[in-house]
Structure 1
Amino acid sequence: MKNKSALLIIDVQVIMFTFDGGSLYNGGKVLQNIHELLTKARYSKIPVFFVQHTETPNLIEGKEGWPIHPRIKPLENEMVIQKSTCDSFYKTDLHEKLQEQGIESLIIVGMQTDFCVDTTCRRAFSLGYNNKLIADGHSTFDTKVLKAEQIIEHHNSVLGGRFAHLKAANEINFN
């Protein structure tokens, strides 16, 4: 059976780009990379799955920051999975929906590196998916301990080679 891939876009929601607590590191470039991957996936008819965080005070349906960023708005035929934890698989039907389509490989992008991207990469690996983490396709915010750039570099180092193959956005071809 041919290895079937899907693009998994995690929590690229408006709030990430309008957060009062600080700026998303390299947010414009990361959004551009995700947009380009999404465009290539759609052109190549690769399934796209959006994950949308919900059920926190700022991320409730109808609130200003809740929607998926308009630059990458899902099409009607694209799956949107809502979650309430850092794990895109926990108490969602993501795994079942991927299995229904015979997906074996995930190309992973999104927000935030140190929370939902990290947890989802590890869980997807444990579920048997062949992951490609897009090194320049995820981001986060500075913390009191580390700058966002350091967090991203650290997670790329830890996740890459263990839980995912690390790739740059421009290295991904869906054909």
Structure 2
Amino acid sequence: MPSSESSSSSSLSSSPSLGMLRAQQSRRVLLILDAQHAVLSPPPLGNPIPRAPTVLANLKHILATARGASHPPQIVHIRNTGDRGELDEPSAPGWALALEPKVDEGEVVLDKRKNNAFSGTRLGEVISEDAEVVVVGLQTDFSLRATCSAALARGNSVLLIREAHGTYDRVEILYGGGVTPAKQVEKEIEDELEEAGVNLLGMEDVRAIFDDR
């Protein structure tokens, strides 16, 4: 059976409600990508990334800080929808969000099927093109990379918080094979996104990010 996180959040994925109204007025957004049990929890719920405990703890801290800010940002939770038989297939325990969204307080939950969270969803309606978007979540070399790139292309200012995103070790097919550790993959993507125009910040900057600047 799906957990309480899954059942409470699924109803919002098709409802504009309070979250959409607030989003239209907000020029700062916290975008949490694919923070689901499938990638953050141990078996049988999921197959966690190597640094899952650290990333999850940091995501919880960021979310709590954003919610407690004097002028909270619009908070958007993106939930990946996997294929049948995958850990994050709809209504599977691993599909549920690891961070409980506060739907009744205007937080938005959107389901996606592609890496780019703007593709095939209403995220473009939620996030205005002049908004500053703080991006965290999973996976660094897939959803996070694609969504940050799409946000930049729309004209958004994008902030990425180190230690608040993650991925798996990468198995290399070419150049002799081998495995690239997840930490190195994460750094490669950070460098790539910074070169493209994303602003990189650390966990020590979290409180200042959500204060009025």
TM-score normalised to the size of structure 1?
Answer: 0.89
Unaligned runs of 5+ in 2: 1-25, 173-179
The answer as to whether partners of 1:6 and 1:103 remain within 8 angstroms in 2 is no
Which amino acid in 1 is paired with 2:40? Answer: F
CA distance in 2, matches of 1:6, 1:107: 6
Which amino acid in 2 is paired with 1:119? Answer: A
Partner residue, 2:115? 86
The answer as to whether partners of 1:121 and 1:163 remain within 8 angstroms in 2 is no
Q: Cα distance, 1:55 vs. partner? A: 4.0
CA distance in 2, matches of 1:90, 1:75: 24
CA distance in 2, matches of 1:28, 1:62: 23
- Structure with the larger RCO, 1 or 2 (CA within 8 Å, 6+ apart): 1
CA distance in 2, matches of 1:9, 1:32: 13
2:61 to 36, 39, 47: 36
Partner residue, 1:75? 102
Q: Cα distance, 1:98 vs. partner? A: 1.5
Q: Verify: 1:164 aligned to 2:189, yes or no.
A: no
CA offset digits 1:37-66 (Å, max 9, x no partner): 101111112210000001422223211100
The answer as to whether partners of 2:41 and 2:52 remain within 8 angstroms in 1 is no
> What's the C-alpha RMSD, in Å, of the aligned pairs?
2.1
Q: Verify: 1:27 aligned to 2:52, yes or no.
A: yes
CA distance in 1, matches of 2:204, 2:109: 25
Partner residue, 2:165? 138
Q: Cα distance, 1:169 vs. partner? A: 2.1
The answer as to whether partners of 1:22 and 1:142 remain within 8 angstroms in 2 is no
CA distance in 2, matches of 1:103, 1:64: 36
Partner residue, 2:28? 5
With over 3 angstroms needed to count, the CA separation of the structure-2 counterparts of 1:22 and 1:148, relative to structure 1, is farther
1:95 to 118, 124, 134: 124
Partner residue, 1:121? 148
- Structure 1 window deviating more from structure 2 (54-63 vs 126-135): it is 54-63
Partner residue, 2:3? none
Partner residue, 1:154? 188
> Rg larger in 1 or in 2?
2
CA offset digits 1:54-84 (Å, max 9, x no partner): 1422223211100000xx2101121001100
Unaligned runs of 5+ in 1: none
State the aligned residue count.
Answer: 170
CA offset digits 1:3-32 (Å, max 9, x no partner): 921100000000002477964121111111
Partner residue, 2:135? 108
Q: More helix per residue: 1 or 2?
A: 2
CA distance in 1, matches of 2:132, 2:42: 32
